[in-house]
A and B are shown apart, each in its own frame.
Chain A
Amino acid sequence: MNPAVGRRKPGLTRRLVRLALILLALVFLLLFLVLPLAAVFVEAFRQGVEPYLESIRQPEALSAIRLTLLVAAIAVPLNVVFGVAAAWAMTRFEFRGKALLGALIDLPFSVSPVISGLVYVLLFGAQGWFGPWLEAHGVKIIFAVPGLVLATVFITLPFVARELIPLMQSQGSEEEQAARVLGASGWQMFFRVTLPNIRWALLYGVLLCNARAMGEFGAVSVVSGHIRGLTTTMPLEVEMRYNEYDYVGAFAVASLLALLALLTLGIKTLLEWRYGDELAAHAPGGH
């Protein structure tokens, strides 16, 4: 019943709560993020630097790295084109089924990657809908590189579009209209006005898209067929080596993926810090 006491107490409680929450977050981070990451490198170098380098130099590892880079090099540009086009359509036009398109773009986020992989097997596999026709024409998709690319494109489809849509929505289309009235052609408008305005958000989306493209396991695993040196990407190579009790080899390849993750994180942080106000997450309210 004493208001003075009642007022002092929350101050102390608040400090305690804050301390507890920070501690909890730190313990959580340590346990679930830092520790596993450290473990990857510790395990990779358990027998020293020489065996580490040796296991990376193996032809299967090099082929996995090449394949991973190839898949990303195809999937990421495809999704940049799709992402920009989808974001453009979603923010610049009114049309029937706009909400449906928005939901479809998010589909890969909500569907289990294994299922997405299975769908492609069902469509293009030997027993699939188009399988026999494709086989007759000598086109191999499942258990081959095209299948890996398809599955990766599907999985990484939302990243670029999702990054651009809120930004382009908040920026509006007035500048593009101004460009048109000033005599710019469609391409000039895009390359001189639209693209510069979305460049950092686009780069951010590409970064996330790329990280996922290189790290994807589930969907790729289903369509790959695990043919060593031909259809194994880095995440698949990690798993196969692990299953063969080649721990150093598995963690060595894993460490490369971890490095990619750290690099992505670094650039992402840099982008957020330097161009935060031009990214969708911090899109300015006015003007």
Chain B
Amino acid sequence: MTLELAHLHRRFAGFGALDDVSLSIAPGEFLALLGPSGSGKTTLLRILAGLDYPDSGSVHRDGEDFLATPARERRIGMVFQHYALFRHLTVVENIAFGLRVRPWRTRPSRAKIHEQVDRLLARVQLEGLGGRYPAQLSGGQRQRVALARALAVEPDMLLLDEPFGALDAQVRVTLRRWLRELHEELQLTTVFVTHDQEEALELADRVAVMNQGRIEQVGPPEQIYQQPATPFVCEFIGKVNRVELRRTGVGLAAGGWMPEGDEPWQGRYAKATAYIRPEQLSLVVPPTLPAWEARLRHVYLAGSVAHLDLYVPSLDQTLEADVASEDLSRLGLQAGRELRIAPRSAVLFPHDGSGATVDRERWIWLEPDRVHA
């Protein structure tokens, strides 16, 4: 079952929730819709569920018009952000709901429903809790009931709206892994909405990054992380340092450092912005190579990783670098130390005359191969 979304537009009073969104969802894939609040990701999910409709554009499932199919006939399982469990029904009744409301011709027998519910209770590891009401369950248990209820109707596609949003950090990580395993087992097309980039990168086969109603980039997590298509994706995914470059006699440069190698723009742009990941900063660069002189201001030890605040006077800017904690003493990294730092890789976007970035002229710069001392 392939879903083709084409040129979807949706406006709510005052703001555009979707602005020309096109996307293709492959059978069995685990797709994340990632973006800040108001980016349109939930609107997109609700359109797939049949709870909202686009002002224009189309959705086709294997060539047939999906938007013309009413919500109840779309064969979709949906887990709502706050689970939306039926508060007056027990866990068993919640899970059985989708089967019990079927027209009598297609409704399974009482025994069949019972059997199916038992199987799902086991699958979501809630055996023995079938008689409870939603109010008597923990957040993680509620989420699993919601999932079992969605799976009970044997859907073709599973939609999850911020599935981990309401859970505390530890439960979240456990459930995330569990959901991933479940997906591998069922091979069910799954679309989930999240604002948490870590969640999206860890779980999904493909991530669609959304901003202001548009899809900024779609791709596998590594691609989104290493080759961000737009400045928004750079800044939204992970932490990133932003450095402004200006054209000098020798090329684009910023305070003593310049990206070596052939500039793809051939001198067409006077300014550019470089995005550098904290783990892509070399901290001990030999004096023969271009680098920034920096002073190490603070070391924040966060378990296996240490975050460093580096002040670069020539940029009048503080850059952030991440190193493995064990490298701290090996490199002699203490607050107050002077260092020569330079990026190992960066993503650069040139600026046009008005100062806006030119996204299609992205340059993924990598440090030239050389033998380090």
- Please say whether chains A and B are actual partners in one complex: yes
Interface residues of A in 185-201 (CB under 8 A from B): 185, 188, 192-193, 196-197
**B12, closest chain A residue (CB):** A94
**A178, closest chain B residue (CB):** B84
Are A182 and B153 in contact (CB-based, < 8 A)? yes
- Cβ of B82 within 8 Å of any chain A Cβ, yes or no, is yes
Are B101 and A177 in contact (CB-based, < 8 A)? no
- Given A178-B78, A179-B86, 8 other A-B contacts at CB below 8 A? A174-B84, A175-B86, A177-B80, A177-B84, A180-B51, A181-B50, A184-B72, A287-B82
Are A196 and B88 in contact (CB-based, < 8 A)? yes
- Cβ of B102 within 8 Å of any chain A Cβ, yes or no, is yes
Q: Can you list 9 A-B contacts with CB-CB less than 8 angstroms, sorted by A residue number?
A: A174-B80, A175-B84, A175-B85, A178-B149, A181-B50, A181-B51, A182-B97, A183-B98, A185-B101
B268 to chain A, nearest CB (A): 49
Chain B residues, CB < 8 A from A182: 72, 97-98, 101, 149-150, 153
Chain B residues, CB < 8 A from A193: 86
**B97, closest chain A residue (CB):** A182
- Cβ of B179 within 8 Å of any chain A Cβ, yes or no, is no
Are B80 and A179 in contact (CB-based, < 8 A)? no
B117 to chain A, nearest CB (A): 14
- Cβ of B208 within 8 Å of any chain A Cβ, yes or no, is no
Chain A residues, CB < 8 A from B149: 178, 182
Chain A residues, CB < 8 A from B101: 179, 182-185, 188, 192
A196–B90 Cα gap in the complex (Å)? 13
A-B pair count, CB < 8 Å, reads: 61
Are B76 and A181 in contact (CB-based, < 8 A)? yes
Chain A residues, CB < 8 A from B73: 183
A188–B73 Cα gap in the complex (Å)? 15
Chain A residues, CB < 8 A from B85: 175, 178
- Cβ of B71 within 8 Å of any chain A Cβ, yes or no, is yes
- Cβ of B49 within 8 Å of any chain A Cβ, yes or no, is yes
A89 to chain B, nearest CB (A): 18
B100 to chain A, nearest CB (A): 8
Are B153 and A183 in contact (CB-based, < 8 A)? yes
A193 to chain B, nearest CB (A): 6
Chain B residues, CB < 8 A from A181: 49-51, 71-72, 74, 76-78
Are B82 and A174 in contact (CB-based, < 8 A)? yes
- Cβ of B105 within 8 Å of any chain A Cβ, yes or no, is no
A18 to chain B, nearest CB (A): 36
Are A197 and B51 in contact (CB-based, < 8 A)? no
Chain A residues, CB < 8 A from B50: 180-181
Chain B residues, CB < 8 A from A196: 86, 88
**A183, closest chain B residue (CB):** B72
With A181-B78, A182-B101, A185-B101: A197-B88 Cβ-Cβ less than 8 Å = yes
Task: Please report the total number of A residues contacting B with Cβ < 8 Å.
Answer: 17
Chain B residues, CB < 8 A from A178: 78, 80, 84-86, 149
- Cβ of B87 within 8 Å of any chain A Cβ, yes or no, is yes
Chain A residues, CB < 8 A from B82: 174, 287
Please provide the 7 A-B residue pairs with the shortest distance between their CB atoms, ordered closest to farther.
Answer: A174-B84, A182-B98, A178-B84, A184-B101, A196-B88, A183-B72, A181-B78
A181–B74 Cα gap in the complex (Å)? 8
B20 to chain A, nearest CB (A): 25
A182–B98 Cα gap in the complex (Å)? 5
Interface residues of B in 113-156 (CB under 8 A from A): 149-150, 153
* Residues 334-348 of chain B, each 1 if its beta carbon lies under 8 Å from chain A, else 0: 000000000000000
Chain A residues, CB < 8 A from B49: 177, 181
**A186, closest chain B residue (CB):** B72
A174–B46 Cα gap in the complex (Å)? 12
* Residues 51-81 of chain B, each 1 if its beta carbon lies under 8 Å from chain A, else 0: 1000000000000000000011110111010
**B142, closest chain A residue (CB):** A287
A182–B51 Cα gap in the complex (Å)? 12
A197 to chain B, nearest CB (A): 6
Chain B residues, CB < 8 A from A180: 50-51, 71-72
With A181-B71, A183-B102: A175-B87 Cβ-Cβ less than 8 Å = yes
Are A177 and B51 in contact (CB-based, < 8 A)? yes
Chain A residues, CB < 8 A from B72: 180-185
A234–B74 Cα gap in the complex (Å)? 56
Are B84 and A192 in contact (CB-based, < 8 A)? no
B5 to chain A, nearest CB (A): 18
A110–B88 Cα gap in the complex (Å)? 36
B120 to chain A, nearest CB (A): 13
Chain A residues, CB < 8 A from B88: 196-197
* Residues 14-45 of chain A, each 1 if its beta carbon lies under 8 Å from chain B, else 0: 00000000000000000000000000000000
A195 to chain B, nearest CB (A): 10
A277 to chain B, nearest CB (A): 10
Chain A residues, CB < 8 A from B84: 174-175, 177-178
A183–B106 Cα gap in the complex (Å)? 12
A162–B51 Cα gap in the complex (Å)? 27
A272–B86 Cα gap in the complex (Å)? 22
Chain A residues, CB < 8 A from B97: 179, 182, 184, 192
**B75, closest chain A residue (CB):** A183
Chain B residues, CB < 8 A from A197: 87-88
**B103, closest chain A residue (CB):** A185
Chain B residues, CB < 8 A from A192: 86, 97, 101
**A196, closest chain B residue (CB):** B88
Of residues B76, B85, B101, which shows the largest number of chain A Cβ atoms within 10 Å of its Cβ?
A: B101
